[in-house]
Amino acid sequence: MRDFDLIVFGATGFTGRLVAEAILEFPEPGLRWAIAGRSQKKLEDVRSALAERFPEAQDLPLLVADVTKPETMDDLACRARVVCTTVGPFTVLGGALVQACVRHGTDYCDITGEVGWMRSVIDAHHNEAVDKKCRVVHAAGFDSIPFDLGVVVAQKAAVAKWGAPAERIRTVTGRMSGALSGGTLASMALIMDSARRDRSVLRQLANPYVLVPGGSGPDRNDSRRVEHWPEHKVWTAPFIMAGCNTRIVRRTHALLGMPWGDAFSYTEAMGTGRGVRGWIRAQGIRMGIAVMVVVLATPWIRRLVVGPILPKPGQGPSKESRESGHFALHVVGHRAGETIAVDVKGNGDPGYLATSRMLAQTAVSLAVDELPPTFGVLTPGSCLGDVLPDRLGRVGIRFSVRSS
Ligand SMILES: NC(=O)c1ccc[n+]([C@@H]2O[C@H](COP(=O)([O-])OP(=O)(O)OC[C@H]3O[C@@H](n4cnc5c(N)ncnc54)[C@H](OP(=O)(O)O)[C@@H]3O)[C@@H](O)[C@H]2O)c1
């Protein structure tokens, strides 16, 4: 028997600390778990801070592990049934832990949104993870759980209602309030740096089926335009996370065995409201994204603003802002002129409070739930679609079907 059901790696970082808090806030009876990071002193400080709010945390085991020391990755992977990690940017810091987990047949989950890195993990480890009967689950945060599971829930509802899945699904974001951490900005900047240096990275990111090796289908790259989406009755702007979410949904479909048909199509955009105000907001968001790309992709501008204006790694939104945050998205499926809709709503800043709860529940689910015998480099929807929506409902993230 392994020492722990679950290890939270990266617990000294901004999001990792919140993941540990989320496990304490919504405890799973009998769960044996530990926190891990590269500094014993920082881990002790995190544990003391956690114990102020949750006295039971004072006995939490601490494990020192550094991704630059492979033997410590093996140690984490050997001692737990599941390791969840927030140690990013994953392109730089993620590989050693995935490798160790697959080698030791340990389930793994993370909150990466780095599509190029996920593809490299699929190429390097999918087959071995299938052989070892373990699960590597990427994108278990705001990108991409609400979107990926929103589609899975909508397709189950469609089959229940029509006896057949939706042929096309479109998701728009609704009311949303949240902020970015320094770690996320660092990950985004890294992707832009590598795309600037290497055009093949750009081509890879533009491929809608990049996470389905050899896969193809009707979808093109995400829209960069302001558009009116009649089924949602709103104007839309490009959605910065669509580049990850849509690829995850397509991989979910492939891993499930293409149950929604070869012609299944999925797209996403940011909803900006109705009428002229919705159109103006959409134009503003489109321009805002262009400015953000220039800032993050230009190292000298980045140096000027990261720190004084934008958060540095380790920093992120305040407790007050995390707790007052919220999100909503609307998933609409179509078949033969009929529609089915799923609303996904969550409390808390989507990128941090809600993300930490999503990762915590994903990890706990991998550790304790009865799951289908699906192994390899997976997506949340492909292995946790039957259990995670209910778990998330208990931590304030709800999926509700609305027929129309
Ligand atoms: N999918 C989503 O919705 C979502 C949401 C939020 C964040 N993220 C991603 O999550 C990642 C973390 O974000 P964050 O804001 O929490 O970043 P952060 O505060 O900078 O945390 C990074 C963590 O990595 C650790 N680390 C760095 N180098 C290490 C090494 N060599 N060995 C072991 N640990 C090491 C840091 O340890 P120290 O404390 O010792 O420095 C820290 O614990 C980013 O990649 C971000 O993009 C995704």
Which residue's CA is the closest to the ligand 1 atom numbered 32? 66
The reported pLDDT for the residue numbered 159 is: 97
The reported pLDDT for the residue numbered 403 is: 61
**Residue 309: Cβ-neighbour burial (10 angstroms; 0-12, 13-18, 19+):** exposed
The reported pLDDT for the residue numbered 271 is: 94
**Tokens at 337, concatenated:** 């002129």
The reported pLDDT for the residue numbered 196 is: 79
Residues 6+ apart with CB under 8 A from 120: 95
Q: What is the pLDDT of residues 218-233, one digit of tens each?
A: 999 888 899 999 888 9
Q: What is the pLDDT of residues 342-362, one digit of tens each?
A: 999 999 899 889 999 999 999
**Tokens at 108, concatenated:** 């793994």
The reported pLDDT for the residue numbered 404 is: 58
**Tokens at 84, concatenated:** 């969840």
The reported pLDDT for the residue numbered 292 is: 82
For ligand 1, residues with CB inside 6 Å are 10, 12-16, 37-39, 42, 66-68, 86-90, 93, 111, 113, 141-143, 181-184, 187, 313-314, 316, 351, 355
Q: Which residue ranges make up each domain of the chain? A: 4-142+353-394, 145-349
Index of the ligand 1 atom closest to the CA of residue 244 = 1
Burial code of 155-175, b = ≥16 C-beta within 10 A, e = fewer?
bbbbeeeeeebbbbbbbbbbe
Index of the ligand 1 atom closest to the CA of residue 89 = 45
The reported pLDDT for the residue numbered 203 is: 86
The reported pLDDT for the residue numbered 314 is: 73
**Tokens at 29, concatenated:** 């009876």
Q: Which CATH architecture has domain 4-142+353-394?
A: 3-Layer(aba) Sandwich (3.40)
Which of 18, 111, 397 to mutate to test ligand 1, by most ligand atoms within 8 A of the CB atom? 111
CA of 126 to the centre of ligand 1 (A): 24
**Residue 108: Cβ-neighbour burial (10 angstroms; 0-12, 13-18, 19+):** buried
Which of 110, 181, 248, 322 to mutate to test ligand 1, by most ligand atoms within 8 A of the CB atom? 181
Residues of the chain with pLDDT under 70: 307-308, 403-404
